[in-house]
Amino acid sequence: MSQIRKADEESFAQAKQILAHGGLVVMPTDTVYGIVCDPCNPEAIARIYKAKGRPQYKALQVIMASVDDLDALGLDLPSPLNRLAAQFLPGAFSPIAVARDSSPLTTVRVAPNGARTQGIRVPNSVTALAMLRVTGPVAASSANRSGEQSAHCVQEAMESLGDTIDLYIDGGATAGHVASTVVAADPYGLDGIEILREGVIPAAVIRRAIHLNGGGLGA
């Protein structure tokens, strides 16, 4: 039977235990509610796909409290995503990182050409960041059945996912139903990037930022 708990240090500690044992947790972010699990546990990741009815070809993100977590996860942000991340993270910006062979993540995608990638995000939410500092990085997807509208409150998430989730963290309503903007590096693309999904941050804002200060983004 699922539990709904108010977002606080006690529920974050409970979430950490559930995640460590392969369970699923729903948590608020700065965009929509997310369903999360241990990113290094293949059985837990399979549970997310089953709970959502999500096609296997659709990747999961890894969300974390800081880009400082990237190195321990065996991830690197290629240029110009590293500079964009400095401007837009924490926030609704999801760059596609490059995964080293040593990455412990089960969520890494391997392309036919051997390229290893992983979408990442640092949410701009006090509640989400507080939880992630307790749990560590998590694999994440929006807390809804595949094809349905994203949940912006815990009640919507529970109506969609029901008892497939072990714990729901109630952090109040999020700003809306729109997800983050997903961006990959592409040396052959316009501005050296490809917008894979336009979300909260408009594509034009991302592209404009690349050219700030002659392309230095203030660096």
- Is 206 domain-assigned? no
pLDDT of residue 212: 81
Instruction: Please indicate, yes or no, if residue 79 is contained in any of the structural domains.
Output: yes
Residue 171 lies in a domain: yes
Count: domains in the chain: 1
Q: Does 160 map to a domain?
A: yes
pLDDT at 214: 52
Q: Cα 101–62–106 angle (5° rounding)?
A: 45
Query: Dihedral angle at the C-alpha atoms of 30, 31, 32, 38, nearest 10 degrees?
Result: -60
Residue 115 makes CB contacts below 8 A (sequence gap 6+) with: 98
Q: What is the CATH number of the domain that holds 39?
A: 3.90.870.10
Is residue 70 included in any domain, yes or no?
yes
Residue 205 lies in a domain: no
Could you give the C-alpha distances from 219 to 33, 85, 215, in angstroms and in order? 33, 12, 9
Domain that residue 135 falls in? 3-178
Other Cβ atoms less than 10 A from the Cβ of 148: the count is 15
Q: How is residue 37 written in tokens? A: 């699990």
CA distance 37 to 105: 12
Tell if the pTM clears 0.85, that is, is over it.
Answer: yes
For residue 204, is it within any domain?
no
In this structure, is residue 115 part of a structural domain? yes
* Segment-wise mean pLDDT, segments of 10 residues, the chain, 219 residues: 95 98 97 96 98 94 97 97 96 97 97 96 97 98 94 96 98 88 95 95 95 56
CA-based nearest residue to 18, from 215, 195, 168:
168
